[in-house]
């Protein structure tokens, strides 16, 4: 298939149980819509037979373009690989392969795209997940929005239809620690949201552990907020202010009120612990920025493609 109008990009990691359902839904969608559509599937180093299923599909159906990464690079980089490979001339829809996000929303997305929107993102009105995850997501999006220097939409993930020109800009952004929904917002252009209810997984288990979710949140905060470094400055200023207040308080207590003031070890210990902890906290934040600069300066490729299948042909 040459020059499709739309590319659907879906990363897969150990999704062999979900794969048949995903293909069925995508085939039904492509058969129904009067659009030229390709599907770009990315195997992110799966350990089950996901790659085998992808191979069989791509070698029999030219609408499927499969990319196999050399190892597990992680969700955001797998999506980036798919966006780099996508050939859609009009727009690219990014979606997870677990079917929690309905691919059928492409029809609504495309209508808004034709009205002039460069980015049409999905807004999760309701999530069918455990209350701990729901609370964590709800809190994170609101905290990030309150401290970010860009207006990242609330309750919006990576699921979106993005115009070709926005994808080209995102592909040209070289940052190693990627937070795609923030990058998508930062690019600008005309954007809007579509509300939907996020489903449960069709099969299998979520590959996003709390550790991975924390890492994603971490990237969002450090990549799109000045808050961590400003927090350090504010904490330093607060510590100095409290120290001066404590000093003045003791002067008044001794020379105005004639009362005894703490001597020696307790006051010294308090000062050492407080300022020592503050310094370590500050060094940790500065170290995080230095580490990100270090990794970025290496200039390594964001991902490594082992092989791919395009138009029913292997490319290695």
Q: Give residue limits of the domains in the chain.
A: 6-210+302-315, 226-298
Could you tell me if 313 and 305 are in contact, meaning their C-beta atoms sit under 8 angstroms apart? no
Superfamily of domain 6-210+302-315, CATH level 4: Spore Coat Polysaccharide Biosynthesis Protein SpsA; Chain A (3.90.550.10)
pLDDT at 229: 67
Distance, in Å, from the CA atom of 94 to the CA atom of 166, rounded to the nearest integer, reads 13
Instruction: Identify whether the C-beta of residue 156 lies closer than 8 Å to the C-beta of residue 123.
Output: yes
pLDDT score of 1: 66
What integer pLDDT is reported at residue 264 of this predicted model?
61
Query: Which strands sit side by side in the sheet containing 64-69, from one edge to the other?
Result: 191-198, 119-127, 156-163, 91-94, 6-12, 37-43, 64-69, 305-310, 313-315
Q: What is the predicted pLDDT for the residue at 303?
A: 85
Helices (H), the chain: 19-32, 50-58, 75-85, 106-114, 131-147, 164-172, 180-187, 210-224, 227-251, 265-297
| Cα dist from 149 to 115, 137, 227, 292, whole Å | 28, 19, 9, 19
Residue-level pLDDT at 144: 66
Can you give the pLDDT at residue 179? 80
pLDDT value at residue 68: 94
pLDDT at 246: 73
Looking at residue 210, its pLDDT comes to 58
pTM of this structure? 0.75
Residue pLDDT tens, the chain, 316 long: 678 999 999 999 998 888 999 999 999 999 999 999 999 999 998 888 999 999 899 898 999 999 999 988 888 899 999 999 999 899 999 998 888 889 999 999 999 999 999 999 988 876 666 666 667 666 666 776 666 666 777 777 889 999 999 999 999 988 877 888 888 888 889 999 888 888 777 766 665 555 666 666 666 666 666 667 677 777 777 777 777 777 777 778 767 776 766 666 566 766 776 777 777 777 777 777 777 777 777 777 888 889 888 877 777 6
């Amino acid at each position: 298939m040459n020059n499709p109008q739309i590319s659907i990009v879906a990363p897969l990691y150990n999704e062999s149980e979900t794969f048949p359902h995903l293909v069925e839904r995508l085939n039904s969608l492509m058969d129904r819509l009067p659009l030229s559509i390709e599907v770009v599937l990315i195997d992110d180093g799966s350990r089950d037979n996901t790659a085998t299923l992808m191979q069989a599909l791509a070698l029999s159906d030219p609408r499927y373009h499969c990319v196999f990464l050399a190892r597990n690079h992680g969700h955001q980089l797998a999506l980036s690989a798919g966006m780099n490979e996508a050939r859609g001339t009009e727009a690219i829809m990014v979606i997870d392969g677990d079917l929690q996000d309905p691919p059928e929303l492409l029809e609504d997305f495309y209508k808004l795209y034709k009205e002039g929107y460069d980015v049409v993102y999905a807004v999760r009105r309701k999530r069918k997940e455990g209350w701990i995850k729901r609370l964590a997501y709800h809190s994170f999006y609101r905290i990030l929005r309150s401290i970010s220097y860009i207006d990242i939409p609330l309750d919006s993930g990576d699921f979106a239809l993005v115009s070709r020109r926005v994808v080209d800009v995102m592909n040209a952004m070289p940052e190693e620690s990627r937070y795609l929904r923030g990058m998508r917002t930062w690019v600008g252009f005309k954007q809007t949201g579509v509300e939907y209810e996020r489903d449960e997984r069709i099969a299998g288990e979520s590959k996003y552990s709390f550790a991975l979710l924390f890492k994603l949140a971490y990237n969002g905060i450090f990549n799109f907020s000045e808050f961590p470094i400003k927090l350090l400055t504010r904490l330093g200023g607060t510590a100095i202010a409290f120290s001066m207040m404590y000093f003045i308080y003791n002067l008044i207590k001794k020379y105005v009120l004639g009362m005894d003031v703490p001597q020696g070890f307790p006051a010294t210990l308090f000062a050492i612990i407080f300022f020592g902890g503050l310094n370590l906290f500050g060094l940790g934040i500065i170290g995080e920025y230095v580490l990100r600069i270090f990794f970025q300066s290496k200039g390594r490729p964001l991902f490594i493609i082992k092989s791919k299948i395009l138009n029913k042909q292997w490319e290695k």
